[in-house]
Amino acid sequence: MAEPEHGEGQAKAADAVSVAPENGTTDPALLSEDEAASRMAALVDLLERANLDYHQKDAPTISDAEYDRAKRELQALEEAFPQLARADSPTGQVGAAPSEAFGKITHAQRMMSLANAFAAEEIDEFTARIRSFLGLAPGAELDFTAEPKIDGLSLSLRYEAGQLTQAATRGDGAVGENVTANALTIPDIPHQLRGNPPEILEVRGEVYMSHADFAALNAGEGARVFANPRNAAAGSLRQLDPEITRARPLKFFAYAWGEVSAPLAATQMGAVEKLAGFGFQTNPLTALCRDSAEMVAHWQAIEAQRSSLGYDIDGVVYKVNDLALQARLGFRSTTPRWAIAHKFPAETAWTRLRDIEIQVGRTGALSPVARLDPVTVGGVTVSNATLHNEDYIAGINSTGERIRDTDIRIGDWVKVYRAGDVIPKVSEVDEAKRPAEAVPYRFPDSCPECGSAAIREPGDAVRRCTGGLICPAQAIEKLKHFVSRGAFDIEGLGARQIEAFYRDETLPIRAPADIFTLRARDAAALGKLKNRDGWGETSASNLFDAIDARREIALNRLIYALGIRHVGEGAASDLARHFVSWNSLVTTLDAAIPAAERHLEADEAILQERAAAAEEGRRARISATRDAVLAQAPDLPEAARQAYDELISIDGIGAVVAQSLCATFAQAKERASIDALVAQLTVEDAKIAATAGSPVAGKTVVFTGTLEKMTRAEAKARAEALGAKVAGSVSAKTDLLVAGPGAGSKATKAAELGVEVIDEDAWLTLIG
């Protein structure tokens, strides 16, 4: 079974500042469905690019704790409003695309991530969820392993007949960088395994550097100074010259495995002991725990000796010990259900807030960034921090509740914290040290880049520029996103080049299609690119060739590259799997636009009635329901209703994503830009890998009612493992409805649409 990786710190771009409240996640019970949809959309929007700096550049830019807090809020909202859950949430992303500097290796089994916990109560919830999923009685035995979470770089080692044949970094979880030559220089990594290992064995673990070796490396004459051991380890392993890696004091802990030709053991602990027997270093602090109380006690014991370990850890990882139970529990999109990382508290320091700057992101979000007097936090000097949004600066959360005694002002003495090598977050203010001249910060209501109005929609914590394509900040950020690793990934056309071309008057790049006409425009121009400063004949020719190499693009990468709000890599992949071709997607979106607009009108009517009720100080029943508004639209074509229903029935694609897609394709300028781009491309259909022999591979399945022989979560996991697509609602595209006792509206709709309906026993017989 593929194991998750421990080095799972997350980061996000500086222009996408978190909006999670200080005192934990937003209480879903306080939000309406519309408010929850807006809140979830804002969280996805700011987190979707969070992995890039950490995993690609080995230089994260914001705190693990801050990322985790926003992610936890999103997860809580997804659980409370499952109909709004989308696959492009942070839980649907692992790592970032591998660098082109190395060859690529496709992992035989995907390298997974880990869910996080921060309080003892969450560990109780974790064990309770597992017992519920498995249907275990309260007193049934359930053991867990607990081991330190190493803060290093994940590495996968493939052995065949006991011989190391290849080594790969995590990359984006599916494809990593080939660092075999470098891995062979690390003393802790055996070239030939001892004992009697399986014919094929994929060992996974963490490359790290000890504190002493890190200090010695940084003290070397003329040496590059690394920010921390994790960056030093990552930079050392990802060297093009293996001799540089050999000179760096790297170490390796093994704790997991991917593909194996024969089982290692029946338990997690037994498998780790087998890895030690093969010649790997395993962590001696790994322990077996019988319940959550013992798990938390071991976490406390490890935290107490954290400073004396000699290497960086940022928490403890718990895993179900029984591997058969791990197999039953299975995986979510990128994390296992049977493991969780219990993080340590963040480190803190006090410093002066010198200024607040506003950055504008590609979706128009105005994000405040604190400029601080440099301060050392946990051994790292930091001078920038996130301030989330205007509510956070004012000291309140999204529901208007106070999260801090005072607001944040320029000149304040503020408390910041960090977890790992990341930019910190401002958490507290020392009012006693506030300068007399300090005044409340006034958040701008216009875009600092283009002057357009910056509005804040109901339920959204973020203020956004309305300038769209006329806003240079949004245009430039969208182009940067377009050429990023997860999108078109054009070699030689990075952020710096995009900024230069955008402002160029002779060979401008103002829209994605301009990239693919660059060679032809250069040929017709008097001033050639090759004659400009910083360019030459070779570099210009290489750029044109790199652009031409991306004229063939996978459907999911094209969808993601468009930078449509709320559509991250996960949602793009889900859309590609469902529609298979670009033409099919566009045809459905065009048909769905009228229905999406009516749904949006319904949402606005509900918000207006709720706002009026709030102003009158009453808790009125909202009569302007979505169905009521839609019922008043008899002119709405049935084809539009069906197309929209198809969109929102895709598992992970809810109303927010569907409306965002339709709104983009309905805008004349946006649509013209997209059409001009696609005219330059060959869009590859999505490749759907059907599960061999599965009777449900490629079929869309919906579960409803009460399942009696397995939990709903287990049923969904098994269906997906067999190649089925599990949808949240019934539509004309549904192939099969599995209905347990208590099935209601979904069964009725299935009967109306002629969808096949079977019970749980028939489902179990069908899947064998």
Radius of gyration of the chain (CA): 27
What is the rounded CA–CA span in Å between residue 433 and residue 426? Answer: 16
Alpha helices in 17-83 (DSSP H): 33-47, 52-57, 64-80
Sequence letter at residue 207: V
Instruction: With beta carbons less than 8 A apart as the criterion, state whether 359 and 145 touch.
Output: no
Q: Which residues pair with 204 in a beta bridge?
A: 156, 256
Q: Which SS3 state, helix, strand or coil, does residue 308 take?
A: helix
**Three-class SS of residue 201?**
strand
Q: Which residue has the tokens 């918000």?
A: 607
405: buried, middle or exposed (CB in 10 Å: 19+, 13-18, 0-12)? exposed
Matching residue, tokens 């409240």: 21
C-alpha span between 314 and 17 (Å, rounded): 22
Strand partners, 417: 348, 425
Question: Bridge-partner residues for 331, per DSSP?
Answer: 336
Nearest-angstrom CA–CA distance, 120 and 52? 30
CA dihedral of residues 713, 714, 716, 718 (deg, nearest 10): 160
Backbone phi, then psi, for 266, in 5-degree steps?
Answer: -90, -15
**351 half-sphere exposure, CB direction, 13 A CA radius:** 23
> Catalytic residue among 149, 319, 480, 725, which?
149
Question: If we measure between CA atoms, which residue out of 174, 177, 176, 178 comes closest to residue 569?
Answer: 174
The amino acid at 297: A
- Report d(CA 13, CA 48) in Å as an integer: 9
Distance from C-alpha of 700 to C-alpha of 159, rounded to nearest angstrom: 38
Task: Tell me the C-alpha to C-alpha distance, in Å, between residue 89 and each of 23, 77, 397, 486, 566.
Answer: 21, 11, 21, 15, 9
Dump the DSSP string for 634-694.
TTS-HHHHHHHHHHHHSTT--HHHHHHHHHHHHSHHHHHHHHHHHTT-EEEPP---PPTT-
At 39, list the tokens.
């809140």
Identity of residue 64 = D
At 36, which amino acid appears?
A
Report the alpha-carbon distance of residue 1 to residue 162 in Å, rounded: 19
E strand segments, 404-520: 413-418, 425-429, 454-455, 464-465
Q: Is 480 a catalytic residue?
A: no
- Which of left, alpha, beta for 465 (phi over 0: left; psi -120 to 50: alpha)? beta
Q: Could you tell me if 214 and 232 are in contact, meaning their C-beta atoms sit under 8 angstroms apart?
A: yes
Determine the Cα–Cα distance for residues 440 and 230; give it in Å rounded to an integer. 39
| 732: Cα within 13 Å, side-chain hemisphere | 10
Q: Are 755 and 733 in contact (CB under 8 A)?
A: no
User: Which residues have CB under 8 Å from 18's CB, separation 6+?
Assistant: 12, 46, 47, 62, 66, 67, 69, 70, 386, 388, 425
Tell me the C-alpha distance between 370 and 352, whole Å: 10
Closest CA to 405 of 428, 439, 438: 428
SS3 category, 258 = strand
Beta carbons of 150 and 230 less than 8 angstroms apart: no
Positions marked catalytic:
149
